[in-house]
Amino acid sequence: MNNKTLYQKEVSLQVDRRRAGVQLIKIISDLWYDKSIEMVLFKNQLLDKNVSDIINLHQYAGEFVGKPISIFDSVEIAKVILSLDFPPAKLDLGKLTYEYQLEEEKYPDARYFVMDKLKKAKSSKEIQPKDVVLYGFGRIGRLLARELMSKTGKGNQLRLRAIVTRDKIDSVILEKRASLLRHDSIHGNFQGSVTADPKNNALIINGTTVNIINANSPEEIDYTQYSINDALVIDNSGAFTSEEALKKHLISKGVSKVLLTAPGKGVPNIVYGVNHNEYNPDDTAIFSAASCTTNAITPILKVIEDSLGIAKGHLETIHAYTNDQNLVDNMHKKYRRGRAAALNMVITETGAGNAVAKAIPSLEGKLTSNAIRVPVPNGSLVVVNLEVKKATSITAVNKIMKKYALEGELVEQIKYSLNNELVSSDIIGTSAPAIYDSNATIVSKDGKNIILYIWYDNEYGYSHQVIRLAKYIAKVRRFTYY
């Protein structure tokens, strides 16, 4: 075959791939808006992606599993799912395509394959939608609002109905709130519409009314006046972190559950995927989603504890600066945090080591921890230095991590990175709370000491963990296939 013929063949294949990408985008959209079926590709969101994104995600998936993932097979499987009668679900098209390519000979066609793999979906329970109130509207609150509103679909899971702020509401303040939701210096513009409605003290987000409520204390609000009932309050204000303080939300009319987006005192601290099943939403009213760092390291430590055993270790967090630090040198109640955040690396304390033990009791007293705030606005890293009970190797550790990232109960929590050039800006916008840097792993000669590098988007990844936990608390988790 001469070079000209080879080139024409490559161009023709590329055109076919792009056509398949266009077809897949249409099917993914129809599944979401008509059937509330969300499609991902090895945890990567497929909704609202362009053709190049779709093709690149298939290439990444192939590198991840060590076998090409055919976009043509993905289209075939997606078509079958669209044609069948499934309840609301979240399905990993990448995993399904990979399995189909491995097991194709066992089935007459893709339809029989899909029906077999997703047969449990038929028995999933009907979901009752849950009203959600965001108490606070800072960095995490706005990301939660973005995600909740962009994934509303047919509105049969979490419904954002109101946002509570402490400042008085007027047309200027309302427009500033709307602008902060529309534009974000780190995460870019919101891919939707946001309009201020001063007449009704509301924001119109993607055509849906979200009430803006002014209150100085939770118990003074009557949410039923806004037709909000049996609501889940997600407190991201930072003002209430103890059980006693958070109980004030339950005094409000129209509230049944509370979720804190910070470590809580006297309430269950939960890392979704690790210890959420230990708490029944029917028996508990107040929950904590722990911290962003705890959500990043706990899934990784669980994998190592279950696979190799942990004798002891140290966690060093290299964390983006946060809003509680000063822009320029000024007074601060904590040492060092008063120095200019964007100019200095700042050593500070973290309770991550103790927090992990709340989710994994076997690690009680085995971990120390510290933190360094660094001059980046988002994107953090934990250096996990562990002495393990079973000798291991770099290859073995990476194999263990890839297995957990590919299958099991932690696939949403752990992303396995193959990128040799990975830096902090690359991980912004990653929904997994822990990104395992496979190329940075270090293991001592005797195999008893391992050093792991775990990246995390301390805003976006954590927000997704909050939503995963919120769905569990609200009992609106759909059938999932990962």
Residues assigned a catalytic role: 292
Cβ proximity of 128 and 138 under 8 Å: no
Nearby residues of 393 by Cβ (< 8 Å), 6 or more positions away:
443, 447
Cα gap 409→406, rounded to integer Å: 10
Q: How distant, in Å, are the alpha carbons of 14, 423, 439 from that of 64?
A: 21, 19, 13
Question: Any long-range contacts for 78-83 (C-beta under 8 Å, 24+ apart)?
Answer: 78/24, 78/27, 78/28, 78/31, 78/39, 79/27, 79/110, 80/110, 80/111, 80/113, 80/114, 81/31, 81/37, 81/39, 81/114, 81/118, 82/27, 82/30, 82/31, 82/35, 83/111
CA 241 and chain centroid, separation = 22
Residues 6+ apart with CB under 8 A from 137: 145, 163, 164, 165, 177, 180, 236
Nearest to 45 by CA among 35, 34, 60: 60
DSSP state, residue 159: E
Rounded CA-CA distance 463/259 in Å is: 12
**What are the distances in angstroms from CA 413 to CA 34, 302, 388, 444?**
28, 11, 22, 27
CA 15 from centre of chain: 34
